[in-house]
Structure 1
């Protein structure tokens, strides 16, 4: 065992006492201060007098003398901002008071307590924030639900409005076309029919634009890109607008760049709609000169331009021309509501492209832009389109289900002229009954009918193992209505009004797929 030298032990003891700043007081049985050692001045005890009352000199000792067992007073304030842990130890002859500096410990404890308090306050505030966030989340969830409900109501309103407007227009357009084909009347009556047909088509165009704008605002237009024969589309547009240009005495020019591929991937229906809007506007505003349509392709972009020699567009109007319902002063006397360009620009944005206008009155205008259109690398020949259904060889039986007698009669005329046998039903329940009883080769089903609607009727037929093609006939242009019709069992979806050519073409295609 190693013995520490006495000098070293004394040194260690002195250093330990200095570090702890120990002070002790000895008090006799009568409560008088007898002696003291250490550093009383460190604790503010600078005028101690032996033989006098200790309580009068050290106030925190009041009531603490002559106690039966040791007492420890923690963090006693002793002046000068210091704290001490005081041990009061009774003995046979009196009382010893030991004082240990606890200022650092007290400060640390206060600091820790402050941190605990701060943490508690922070926790409380966090709890409040969480409650506020939860309330905000619930409020946002409620607002989201209300917006979804409003959007759903708007969608239903659009679908209902579309159906209610398109159904009578189907009759107007269809019967006017039939009268125009069979009438042998004089020129005046022919002009009457032409006026009815022109205005009905104009009304249908306005309805389409208003409903299209509503769907764009509601975010309900979904692109459906596929392989598109862009050169054939270009040729179709040329054939469509050449007669109109000729009637106005205008030159209608078309220009295809040499690098234009045959097929690209894009939503053909929407791109056709854009070009029809631009070309229609150019022909409408141009009274003399020409309208030129240009198409090119590079870097997966289909580039287009429609240039006219019309009156041009003022710089002020160019800033607002793509806003809904804006009409330039030069357009006030012409038909339209100012939606075509707004719709075209929004659809082009959806197709990851842009549309811009350049004009210097009175020298005409040029609307140009591009849409994303990658090459279609693999093309599968469409054998159905190249095959003609021979109605004379096999007379197919068609069931027409529609609650409007005018629409049923019109569809019967179209189909019978195409060589088909027709039976009809006036509601969804009759459609199910007649289809199961007569087993027609194809069903033309209106989606909005009394008793049960077309969707329910189709579901019942498919449940009863009716496997023949069913073509939905609807006034709704909503994508979700079309998708739902196909989901419940329809093979195709036609939107009213439908031309006899489109009707017969779709009937033939679906019969050939059987």
Structure 2
């Protein structure tokens, strides 16, 4: 199966002229309802600005002089009535659909590419009549002010450009401002002339023409009517404005229909009056003594009329000049505007490019200017004869489809204009137009007799009008729509184009299978890469080849498909076209042997040029076809590879999801285990803190309690480390800004790690600057974790030698260095030393516990805190880890004296605290802590009991666990608030730092984590209840701890050498009685003996030379 090519979406950025809809005026696309913002009156008035063109007076005058009053007036009235009837369905359908004449032709029988022919016909009309009007003004400038014609042509062309660049927005203003003045200047001189010479009316009606007999002559009538019928193309210019009429549902019926009638087919009513005025003024000029050439010039006509109104020759000249200039500007802004739309539509379909309507505006005016400078308009009557046949054929087919085919159901209702939904060529419109052009040209060149020659324009219109329904019936109307639009889109107010990424109304959008999304009509028209992937059967090539395959034998068809066969076909088309043109030109020239010889020479020269051109086109086409075929083949291979990659990606994604699920299960297990560990640890640490504060505990037992508390805190830190691993894997790490007493903080770490190093027989040193800030701000727990991880690793992997912690502090940047003389790290392992689960490949490394996450956590924490970490190492010589962190600080801090809370100040009655926790040890701990301080505690093991106790007596404070059976702490807090409880709620749980369900956490006041800190709990209670605490007297300041003397240390070392543990304990008790000031040192030694760590005990003893 062939693979449909998919093209990468590249956003189309239009240039400034195209992107600005004020300048672009919806060229190439239908007029969106949001753009129809002008009133119906203003749109109609703008459309009626076209009635000002003075070519009407010139045509009326020329026909009257040539064919007399009777024939010219009959032709004017007949053609005007026919144009009115033909214009009505065109204007009505354009106003309903909001489309210009090109888009209307696409959907009314011509197809997407077929309507390029009509665009060319329409563009020709605009520059022909632009030139006629400009010639009239330039002739006046030459006659009145001696301005050279070539310069007058340039001035007449250039003056229009700035008035048309901004489309209907500015044109409507121009027409509104100039309409009253133009009407006055047009009507008053005519009335004055009629009043001054009423006898001329009778002479005008009896005028038989320059060579006429005065009666009706069918041939003269036909000749006059054929010229006039070219004006039917003016309907297309009206449509370009009528499309801006607001939607009918938004207007009163009589307003909308009146505007449509006046601005649409009603233009011909006003043109009839101007044609009659031109006829009369030409006769008046002849009566006034003007020559025939002067009498048919509009400037001379109105100069004569203004002379009847104004006595001053100078003022007559001024008034005539103003009127002619105003008329020329009013009509030529419309001609130029319509031409810019026609050329935009024509070239966009042939070149798939659109530089902007303004570019084609200048191009249209340049073509007209070139023809003026070449003097083509001197033979304008002959041009109009030929043009009117072609225009009549176009309009006949268009009117037939709108007025006959659609009402009878021979063509689909509505106007479809999008490339994606149309056949390239619809044989209904194109076929009927070509047939009528052929018949009318036969008539025009005299092959059907003199009467048919005179009536050739009507033959063209009638043939097309009759052929269109027949062809629609014969084809079954199947060439109107290549595919149907998506009906579901009609419910959307707007859709976004996948190419230009702008929003458009659904009527302007089509689904593109190549870009796999909605595409606007403009991007669709300009796309040259899709190859009409949405309608391959509707392309011009497919439409041509389908009947050829059915009509021609297969061998002949294969022969024609070769390069030689293609060249033959293209060359014959060139030859036929050139022959028809030459025959038409030769038929108009007199018989001459020399002329025949010249024609034959020119014909053969053009045949040679045509042959070269045909070969160029054929070879270029073949090269393009080969390139496209290679592109399709490569695309097919690429799509196959993409499908394989998708299968691989799906397998990888599934494996990733399985791994993530396993990781999530592990994280949930770690969190669950941490919760289970924290609950009993909370009781251990809580009671250890209570006992430490109890004055009844003997001093010699306090060391043991402190050991219990420190061990519990160490275990809590290990649990936090496990949670850190889970948070790192989830990408969720929380940082806090703590106030750290920096020297004390460092001293704690140094003392802790020094003991560990000395127990292993390793020297430990701390190299710090003499001056350090007293206070720094950072996350204390994370900084402690970083340093302990690095120092622990250094001690762990150092068998002998030393470990040094270095510190440099400058400009609030701390640089820590951990230097060891251990085994070192191989160079190939340095790059992955911070990767998870990496232990290094050194076979001589000691067997040490761990899973290889310490350095990973350290690096992650350092980077999250905004710092950096690096390492240098040499195998067998040691390693150096360097950590740089920003530690903002201040110089001094007040001394901290810990006061033990003894009660509440001014307590008259106990405060009620309701504790809800499923752990009885935690409930008992909180009761033991708070009741001695003047609190009355109520204990609940679950949420239901808590609600019942709260309803019985309103507590002053709630302490709630989160994970309880039956009802979570979050739900309990919510129900307490719903029950009207306003007392503060503190959540106390091992899960307090984990995320609760969405929407939870809005009913409590604070959070504490297990294991709880007694000091932190009391501080929270004091803040929430506004309590002033009373404190016990602080203990007397202890003297500096003394060390054991060398003799005492030697005695203990001898006992340890023989392993006499009992003797060591007795000797330590005796030493504590002899030297109470050495109690801290003795307590540390007792700890080693309790664990039977004699090596560490001996290492902790003072050296003999101390």
Answer whether TM exceeds 0.5 for this pair. Answer: yes
Matching residue of 1:76: none
Aligned counterpart in structure 2 of residue 235 of structure 1, from 732, 736, 744: 744
Work out which of the two has the higher radius of gyration on C-alpha atoms and give 1 or 2: 2
Task: Find out whether 1:469 has 2:984 as its counterpart.
Answer: yes
Q: Separation in 1 of the partners of 2:749 and 2:693?
A: 20
Task: Find out whether 1:400 has 2:947 as its counterpart.
Answer: no
SS at match of 2:1001: helix
Q: Separation in 2 of the partners of 1:510 and 1:297?
A: 39
Task: Find out whether 1:500 has 2:1014 as its counterpart.
Answer: yes
Task: Find out whether 1:160 has 2:636 as its counterpart.
Answer: no
Q: Compute the displacement of 1:348 (Å).
A: 1.1
What 5-or-longer segments of structure 2 have no aligned partner?
Answer: 1-587, 891-898, 1029-1106
Deviates more, 1:258-267 or 1:398-407: 258-267
Aligned counterpart in structure 1 of residue 1004 of structure 2, from 464, 471, 490: 490
Q: Separation in 2 of the partners of 1:237 and 1:436?
A: 51
Matches within 5 A, 1:232-311: 232-238=741-747, 242=751, 257=769, 266-278=778-790, 295-298=807-810, 301-305=813-817
Aligned counterpart in structure 2 of residue 343 of structure 1, from 813, 836, 857: 857
* Alpha-carbon spacing, 1:142–1:364, altered in 2? closer, same or farther (3 Å): closer
Deviations 1:199-236 (A, max 9, x none): 655544443333322332xx346455565434x14424
* Alpha-carbon spacing, 1:11–1:244, altered in 2? closer, same or farther (3 Å): closer
Deviates more, 1:490-499 or 1:273-282: 273-282
The answer (yes or no) to whether the contact 2:963–2:989 under 8 Å persists in 1 is yes
* Alpha-carbon spacing, 1:343–1:484, altered in 2? closer, same or farther (3 Å): farther
Q: Compute the displacement of 1:474 (Å).
A: 2.1
Matches within 5 A, 1:377-416: 390=904, 393=907, 395-416=910-931
Task: Find out whether 1:10 has 2:591 as its counterpart.
Answer: no
The answer (yes or no) to whether the contact 2:914–2:939 under 8 Å persists in 1 is yes
The answer (yes or no) to whether the contact 1:286–1:308 under 8 Å persists in 2 is yes
Matching residue of 2:681: 169
Question: Between Structure 1 and Structure 2, how many residues are aligned?
Answer: 425
Q: Separation in 1 of the partners of 2:1017 and 2:911?
A: 14
Aligned counterpart in structure 1 of residue 883 of structure 2, from 365, 369, 373: 369
Q: Which has the higher strand share?
A: 1
Q: Which has the higher helix share?
A: 2
Q: Compute the displacement of 1:504 (Å).
A: 2.6
The answer (yes or no) to whether the contact 1:292–1:307 under 8 Å persists in 2 is yes
Q: Compute the displacement of 1:421 (Å).
A: 2.3
Q: Compute the displacement of 1:278 (Å).
A: 4.7
* Alpha-carbon spacing, 1:262–1:184, altered in 2? closer, same or farther (3 Å): closer
Q: Separation in 2 of the partners of 1:111 and 1:202?
A: 79
Matching residue of 1:422: 937
* TM-score, structure 1 as length reference: 0.60
Deviations 1:92-141 (A, max 9, x none): xxxxxxx9996555545555655675677678778878878887887787
The answer (yes or no) to whether the contact 2:798–2:821 under 8 Å persists in 1 is yes
The answer (yes or no) to whether the contact 1:470–1:492 under 8 Å persists in 2 is yes
SS at match of 2:885: strand
SS at match of 2:918: coil
Q: Compute the displacement of 1:399 (Å).
A: 1.9
Q: Separation in 1 of the partners of 2:646 and 2:1025?
A: 58
Q: Separation in 1 of the partners of 2:824 and 2:613?
A: 95
* Alpha-carbon spacing, 1:243–1:140, altered in 2? closer, same or farther (3 Å): closer
Q: Compute the displacement of 1:497 (Å).
A: 1.8
The answer (yes or no) to whether the contact 1:327–1:338 under 8 Å persists in 2 is no
* Alpha-carbon spacing, 1:434–1:246, altered in 2? closer, same or farther (3 Å): same
The answer (yes or no) to whether the contact 1:294–1:306 under 8 Å persists in 2 is yes
Q: Separation in 2 of the partners of 1:264 and 1:226?
A: 13
The answer (yes or no) to whether the contact 1:392–1:419 under 8 Å persists in 2 is no
Aligned counterpart in structure 2 of residue 445 of structure 1, from 949, 960, 967: 960
Task: Find out whether 1:510 has 2:1097 as its counterpart.
Answer: no
* Alpha-carbon spacing, 1:144–1:414, altered in 2? closer, same or farther (3 Å): same
Q: Separation in 1 of the partners of 2:1001 and 2:707?
A: 40
* TM-score, structure 2 as length reference: 0.31
Deviates more, 1:401-410 or 1:437-446: 437-446
Aligned counterpart in structure 2 of residue 207 of structure 1, from 713, 719, 722: 719
Q: Compute the displacement of 1:154 (Å).
A: 4.2
Q: Separation in 2 of the partners of 1:240 and 1:440?
A: 43
Q: Separation in 1 of the partners of 2:826 and 2:717?
A: 26
Q: Compute the displacement of 1:270 (Å).
A: 1.6
The answer (yes or no) to whether the contact 1:222–1:479 under 8 Å persists in 2 is no
Q: Separation in 2 of the partners of 1:187 and 1:262?
A: 31
* Alpha-carbon spacing, 1:367–1:456, altered in 2? closer, same or farther (3 Å): same
Deviations 1:334-366 (A, max 9, x none): 887765444323311322323356789999976
Deviations 1:154-213 (A, max 9, x none): 443332221122212323444466678879999999999888767655544443333322
SS at match of 1:303: strand
Q: Compute the displacement of 1:420 (Å).
A: 2.7
What 5-or-longer segments of structure 1 have no aligned partner?
Answer: 23-98, 377-384
